[in-house]
Amino acid sequence: MKTLNPLKLIYCLLIPVLLQSCSSEIGAWKNDKIKQSNRDELHDLNNQVFKFIKADDSKSLSAYLSKELLENNYTGATFDMIRGEMRRDSFINFSEYYTVNKYILADTIDNLNLGINNHKLIFPGTAEEMYISLFLPKTKNAPNKTMITAIYAHFNYGWKLSKLEAGPYTINGKTAPELYEQAKAEYKQGYLFAAANTMSLAAGCSRPNSIWIYSKEEELYGFLKRAANEANVKYHYPVILDKVSTKPRIIRIYNTSSAGGTYPNIVYMTKISIKNTAAIKTENDEVRKVIGEALPGIDKNKKYIIYAAYNEMPSSERLVPHFEYKDVLQ
């Protein structure tokens, strides 16, 4: 094991103190509490960065990136993903924070006046001064919203973008804690499969970025484990629909997303030729009538369900012919 130079050790021990002593205004300021001159400067910085991202102007953008981002092999792919999100919708800044950090390892911003959506932002003190900007789609009624997070740090070579990421914030119009509450209600009603499915959605949007932690996160994941374990014990594939005359077999259920939201896709095997669309539709009518009994709650609190009927097993290596039907519930 390499021995640390005593001078380096002293320097490391002094780092937290240095961060505490550089400014008399240690703390975090949110939105309109940020000093207007600082806010204007940071908004200009944000505007330039996202202008160049949207224009795919990597040369101009590079002047605004930290050394670490410039050296990161995944930076280009991240910008491509963000650019794709920006082409799907316009994004607006819904929350921003200016911080003068107390510690170098990690600092915390509490957001504890949001009820069920209380959360913390726990982030590394990359520099003494930092700016965190959170964006959401301008389309307010979009059921599935992606959050874009930009984190800037004031280095000795200027304000630079130090981290950029995007992650799911809402699914079907609800945040992770809100989906958790929905799942608990479903579980209480005896809708075990539906509760487990809703919890998988909650887990999918529980961390809209790497610094965001909901106050209910530990509780949420505890219930996810419980619901999933109970569902795995009770339900086994294939699920045979005995009350349907042709007895189709459900072989898989997964969630599929579109502009309208995220809803179940029920895949089943049928003995009826999918070329016989009239007979397939008749069978599907029967399937839809009994699906709520076979999988309690799967057809509740949803705008639609997708059904996919196959004559042969689906394959990841080739497209297998199938008949797809969208059942609009609301």
Domain ranges of the chain: 11-170, 176-234, 239-328
The whole model's pTM is what? 0.89
Q: What is the pLDDT of residue 8?
A: 40
Instruction: Give the contacts of 121 (CB within 8 A, at least 6 positions apart).
Output: 97, 108, 109, 111, 132, 211, 212, 213
Residue 330 scores a pLDDT above 90: no
| Inter-residue contact 143 to 170 (CB < 8 Å) | yes
pLDDT for res 279:
98
Predicted confidence band of residue 140 (pLDDT cuts 50, 70, 90): confident
CA-wise closest residue to 205 among 175, 160, 241: 175
- What digits encode the pLDDT tens for the residues 272-326? 999 999 999 999 999 999 999 999 999 998 999 999 999 999 998 999 999 999 9
**Helix (H) or strand (E) segment spanning residue 119:** strand 119-123
CA 191 remoteness from chain centre: 25
CA atoms of 136 and 70, how far apart (whole Å): 26
Q: Is the pLDDT of residue 70 over 50?
A: yes
pLDDT exceeds cutoff 80 at 7: no
Peptide bond into 208 cis (omega under 30): no
178-186 average pLDDT score: 98
Region 213-240: what's the mean pLDDT?
97
- Per the prediction, the chain carries an average pLDDT of 91
What is the rounded CA–CA span in Å between residue 167 and residue 148?
A: 7
Query: Of 111-115, 117-121, 306-310, which range is least confident?
Result: 111-115
Query: Residue 208 in contact with residue 149, Cβ under 8 Å?
Result: yes
